[in-house]
């Protein structure tokens, strides 16, 4: 019915999670949602770098602690959901921590685990590229930085903290010859982007992809997780990055078959997939899962609390401040092109090699040159607007996939000279599985092309473009569309009704470990859409006050980001700490990759950013001015904070509460969103509210809304799990209202305020009303009661800007 995300790591173990079981039960959630539980690389703070699928995270307490967690959850009536990472494993330091990888490095294609990894053994030296060296291999050898160590159970090569196995039979060779004879090639770290010959997660060469499409690999990598599902210790699974898999549909089918009979009704386990849906893209109906992890819901919920009228003035302000007038689409094209031509060059090169081989061996295609194929692939990857098109080799491409690729081809054609159009057509046909007949390389191309689309989208848009354009940074969110500025209640109703009909058990979310900003930072920023004139005046004032802190190197765009971040993260106690802000700004500016980067930091630029940020945080006049603006917008921010959370919890789907966000949480991108959570303080607040205490502040109000809505879901599964959805008529667009449960006799009615500034400017609620279904209703937040029929909105929302009306049982 609902989940609560917990980040398992050395600082928050299975026992720490167990200690929160009672609190989660009182809060009203049904399941603890655990970040990856399998053994990750040592010291991992997130768990997505698995090294051993046969063990539970030893730094979180291992199997014994996990079993204690399971018992504690059951004792409090809770279940558990776990995050699953099927796409990749870590390339750890030392590599020996990953037994399968170690075996392949030692024995090459003869290893029993060679089928685990997606390695191109056709490279000239038939060696896996290990790009870990701080300088070129010749320099490393000349400096004596590599050494052979024969003191242990087997001989190894050592390079500082890195350890590598020695191919049997080569240990007696001179060092230089020994290095050259291994099944891996040690290389300078910069070589990876150009010559890497194993598939990886995005552009992270320390995360090597594995081939779960191989039944043996699937069985071995999922055995422990499936054991936990069958034993009842896990009731659900969240699938990380399915778009990276060779066959997402096939993987989900296999998972459904493996968990069949574990559900309460004998069905398969509840499974949701981390699928990023772009625009109006729909989740493939043939996926054997309950839905997505909720980024599609996040965008719609946030959009309801954004005023579309703010788009034009905020665009004008951004252009005036930064001089940047290029449309966001142009920034995306530029960033994706950079990713394709640099960060993912190795992946593109491998696609071109496949195409060149196919075309060379087919006399009808032989005149398509390697250069032409490369240009066509680059333009097609840049033009695709989704994470992938779902084409399975040997099957006709579905119409949706054809439409995606042909639309991309139309765009690519405008960027290619006419003599390349025929080559582009060949590439599109091959990507759709419509050419090259029986050539096995054609099937490989179909899969690899799709596996490359996702990284281009993620790195080009989420991890680059979103850090280059800040008209309103709250829209720069995973799966988001920064140019889509707000949605109407009617659009939201249509989306929610579709969820109720097609994916009633999909996950909904507002904050995750991957969101660029927490839900409440985004809510705070969303009110700027109603305060555009005031915001423009405030920023102009702040810029003038902060003039002495501004170095020549600081670009205006980054300064805009700093002002938005300072405003969005402001608490009652004051501004964000310098440590948190500087950590965020370093990540943001390096991800943008146009002034400084992770691989080539610009010290002068970063010093200018730091000087400005620390100067502002230490300037009383600036802070007082920012604080005044925060106070001006506080009432509107309260409406957005409570409204979007309430809508998420009451709408169709299974809502997730990310750790700590039952109170106002003003976190930024990871690792900021993995800071410790004060559960003791939350327990005290909840106990006080449950003792009939009135909310003291916005934190209490949010906790009240979260706990009462979660409890209502738990107490009446008839509406919270698979219940119907129907809009409730209102006389004003400032109220979003909907009913859950049978259309003619719903169980609950949810009402939320939206766009409070325009509401106030138009005279407030006045006589505006909504029509309640017949029956008697009680507001779960304050106990007030209402009868069906026309009810004044002002009466419903007298205390809080949201109301959860629960149908009262008929007497007698």
DSSP per residue over 544-594, as a string? HHTGGG--TT--HHHHHHHHHHHHHT-BTTBSPPHHHHHHHHHHHHHHH-S
Do residues 709 and 649 make contact, with C-beta atoms less than 8 angstroms apart?
yes
By the 8 A CB rule, do 749 and 773 touch? yes
**What pLDDT is recorded for position 574?**
96
Paired tokens of 92: 């750890």
Q: What is the mean pLDDT of each run of 10 residues along the chain (812 residues)?
A: 97 98 98 98 96 98 98 98 97 96 97 95 88 96 96 95 96 96 96 90 91 97 98 97 96 97 86 95 96 97 98 98 96 97 94 95 93 98 96 94 97 97 97 83 95 96 96 95 95 97 97 97 98 98 98 97 98 96 98 95 98 98 98 98 98 98 98 96 97 94 98 93 92 97 94 97 96 96 96 96 93 56
Residue identified by tokens 């009810």 is 791
Say if residue 245 is exposed, middle or buried (CB neighbours under 10 Å; 0-12, 13-18, 19+): buried
Q: In a 3-state reduction of DSSP, which class is residue 279? A: coil
pLDDT at 437: 65
Give the DSSP letter string of 297-335: HHHHHHHHTS-GGGHHHHHHHHHHHH---S-HHHHHHHH
Q: Which residues pair with 237 in a beta bridge?
A: 82, 271
Please say whether the beta carbons of 669 and 584 come within 8 A: yes
Q: Tally Cβ neighbours within 10 Å of residue 742.
A: 14
DSSP state letter for 529 = G
> Omega of the bond prior to 109 within 30 degrees of 0, cis?
no
What phi and psi, each to the nearest 5 degrees, are found at residue 790? -75, 125
Q: Sort strands 31-34 and 725-727 into parallel, antiparallel or unpaired.
A: unpaired
Which of 746, 671, 554, 804 has its CA nearest to residue 9?
Answer: 671
Round to the nearest angstrom and report the end-to-end CA distance of the chain: 30
Sign of CA dihedral 551, 555, 556, 559: negative
CB 329 within 8 A of CB 512: no
Instruction: State both tokens at 363.
Output: 């006399």
Token reading at 452: 């490359």
Measured CA to CA in angstroms, residue 737 lies from 27, 97, 497 at distances of: 24, 54, 13
DSSP states of 439-491 = -HHHHHHHHHHHHHHHHHHIIIIITTGGGT--SSGGG--TT--TT-----HHH
Contact 256, 268 (CB under 8 A): yes
Task: Report the distance separating Cα 293 and Cα 241, nearest Å.
Answer: 10
Residues 88/200, Cβ–Cβ less than 8 Å? yes
Q: Are 795 and 777 in contact (CB under 8 A)?
A: no
Which pair of tokens denotes residue 100?
Answer: 């399968």
Own/partner contacts of 202-207, CB < 8 Å, gap of 24 or more, are: 202/454, 202/455, 202/458, 202/459, 203/339, 203/343, 203/344, 203/455, 203/459, 205/91, 205/131, 206/49, 206/90, 206/91, 206/92, 207/48, 207/49, 207/88, 207/89, 207/90, 207/91
Q: Which residues contact 383 (CB under 8 A, 6 or more apart)?
A: 408, 409, 411, 412, 415
**Are 397 and 391 spatial neighbours (Cβ–Cβ below 8 Å)?**
yes
Q: How many CA atoms lie within 13 A of 581 on its CB side?
A: 26
- Tell me which residue has tokens 């039952």: 662
Helix, strand counts (H, E) of the chain: 29, 24
- Indicate the length of the chain as a whole number: 812
Q: Quick one: tokens of 597?
A: 């980067």
- Cα distance between residue 438 and residue 13, in whole Å: 52
* 3-class SS of residue 427: helix
Could you give the angle at the alpha carbon of 388 between the alpha carbons of 387 and 390, nearest 5°? 145
**CA separation for the pair 563, 560 (Å, rounded):** 5
Three-state SS for 77-135 is CCEEEEEECCCEEECCCCHHHCHHHHHHHHHHHHCCCHHHECECCCCCCCCEEEEEECC
Where does residue 291 fall: left (phi above 0), alpha (psi -120 to 50 degrees), or beta otherwise?
Answer: left
DSSP string, 637-691: HHHHHHHHHHHHHHSSSEEEEETTTTS----BSTTGGGS---HHHHHHHHHHHHT
pTM (2 d.p.): 0.96
Q: How far is the C-alpha of 259 from the C-alpha of 256, rounded, in Å?
A: 5
pLDDT of 436 reads 61
Q: How many Cα atoms occupy the beta-carbon half-sphere of 618 within 13 Å?
A: 10
């Amino acid at each position: 019915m609902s989940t609560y995300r917990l980040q398992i790591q050395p600082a928050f173990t299975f026992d720490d999670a167990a200690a929160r079981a009672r609190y989660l039960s009182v809060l009203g959630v049904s399941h603890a949602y655990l970040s990856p539980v399998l053994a990750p690389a040592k010291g991992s703070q997130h768990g997505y770098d698995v090294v051993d699928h046969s063990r539970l995270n030893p730094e979180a307490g291992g199997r014994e602690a996990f079993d204690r967690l399971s018992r504690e959850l059951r004792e409090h009536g809770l279940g558990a959901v776990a995050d699953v990472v099927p796409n990749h494993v870590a390339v750890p330091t030392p590599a020996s921590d990953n037994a399968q990888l170690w075996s392949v490095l030692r024995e090459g294609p003869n290893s029993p685990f060679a089928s685990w990894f997606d390695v191109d053994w056709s490279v000239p030296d038939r060696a896996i590229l290990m790009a870990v060296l701080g300088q070129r291999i010749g320099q490393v050898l000349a400096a004596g930085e590599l050494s052979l160590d024969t003191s242990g159970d087997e001989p190894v090569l050592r390079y500082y903290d890195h350890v590598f196995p020695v191919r049997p039979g080569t240990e007696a060779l001179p060092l230089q010859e020994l290095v050259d004879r291994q099944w891996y090639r040690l290389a300078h770290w910069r070589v990876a982007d150009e010559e890497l010959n194993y598939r990886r997660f995005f552009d992270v060469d320390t995360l090597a992809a594995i081939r779960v499409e191989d039944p043996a690999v699937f069985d071995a990598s999922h055995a422990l997780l499936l054991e936990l599902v069958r034993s009842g210790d896990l009731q659900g699974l969240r699938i990380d990055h399915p778009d990276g898999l060779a066959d997402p549909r096939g993987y989900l089918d296999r998972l459904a078959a493996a968990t069949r009979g574990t559900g309460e009704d004998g069905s398969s386990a509840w499974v949701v997939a981390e699928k990023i849906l772009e625009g109006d893209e729909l989740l493939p109906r043939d996926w054997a899962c309950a839905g997505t992890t909720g980024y599609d819901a996040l965008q719609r919920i946030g959009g309801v609390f954004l005023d579309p009228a703010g788009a034009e003035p905020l665009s004008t302000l951004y252009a005036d401040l930064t001089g940047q007038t290029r449309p966001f689409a142009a920034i995306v094209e530029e960033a994706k092109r950079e990713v394709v031509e640099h960060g993912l060059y190795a992946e593109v090169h491998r696609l071109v090699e496949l195409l060149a081989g196919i075309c060379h061996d087919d006399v009808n295609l032989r005149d398509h040159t390697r250069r032409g194929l490369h240009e066509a692939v680059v333009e097609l990857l840049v033009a695709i607007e989704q994470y992938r098109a779902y084409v399975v080799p040997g099957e006709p491409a579905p119409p949706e996939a054809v439409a995606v690729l042909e639309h991309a081809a139309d765009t690519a054609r405008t960027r290619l000279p006419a003599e390349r159009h025929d080559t582009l057509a060949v590439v599109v046909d091959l990507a759709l599985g419509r050419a090259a007949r029986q050539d096995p390389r054609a099937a490989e191309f179909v899969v690899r092309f799709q596996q490359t689309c996702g990284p281009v989208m993620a790195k080009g848009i989420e991890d680059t473009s979103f850090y280059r354009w800040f008209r309103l940074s709250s829209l720069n969110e995973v799966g988001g569309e920064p140019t889509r500025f707000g949605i109407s209640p009617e659009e939201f109703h249509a989306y929610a009704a579709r969820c109720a009909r097609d994916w009633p058990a999909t996950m909904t979310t507002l904050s995750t470990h991957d969101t660029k900003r927490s839900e409440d930072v985004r809510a705070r920023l969303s009110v700027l859409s109603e305060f555009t004139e005031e915001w423009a005046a405030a920023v102009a004032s702040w810029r003038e006050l902060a003039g002495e802190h501004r170095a020549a190197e600081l670009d205006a765009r980054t300064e805009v980001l700093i002002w938005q971040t300072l405003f969005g993260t402001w608490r009652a106690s004051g501004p964000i700490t310098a440590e948190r802000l500087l950590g965020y700004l370093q990540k943001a500016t390096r991800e943008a990759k146009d002034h400084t980067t992770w691989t080539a930091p610009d010290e002068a630029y970063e010093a200018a950013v730091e000087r400005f940020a620390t100067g502002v945080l230490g300037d009383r006049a600036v802070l007082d001015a920012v604080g005044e603006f925060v106070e001006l917008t506080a009432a509107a921010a309260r409406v957005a904070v409570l409204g979007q959370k309430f809508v998420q919890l009451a709408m169709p789907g299974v809502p997730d509460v990310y750790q700590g966000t039952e109170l106002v949480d003003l976190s930024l991108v990871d690792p900021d969103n993995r800071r410790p959570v004060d559960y003791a303080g939350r327990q005290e607040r909840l106990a006080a509210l449950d003792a009939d205490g009135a909310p003291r502040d916005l934190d209490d109000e949010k906790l009240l809304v979260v706990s009462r809505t979660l409890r209502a879901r738990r107490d009446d599964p008839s509406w919270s799990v698979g219940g119907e959805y129907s809009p409730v008529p209102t006389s004003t667009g400032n109220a979003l209202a909907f009913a859950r449960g049978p259309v003619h006799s719903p169980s609950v009615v949810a009402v939320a305020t939206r766009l409070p500034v325009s509401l106030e400017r138009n005279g407030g609620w006045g006589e505006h009303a909504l029509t309640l279904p017949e029956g008697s209703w009680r507001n779960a937040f304050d106990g007030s009661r209402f009868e069906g029929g026309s009810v004044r909105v002002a009466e419903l929302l007298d205390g809080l800007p949201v109301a959860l009306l629960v149908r009262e049982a008929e007497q007698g």
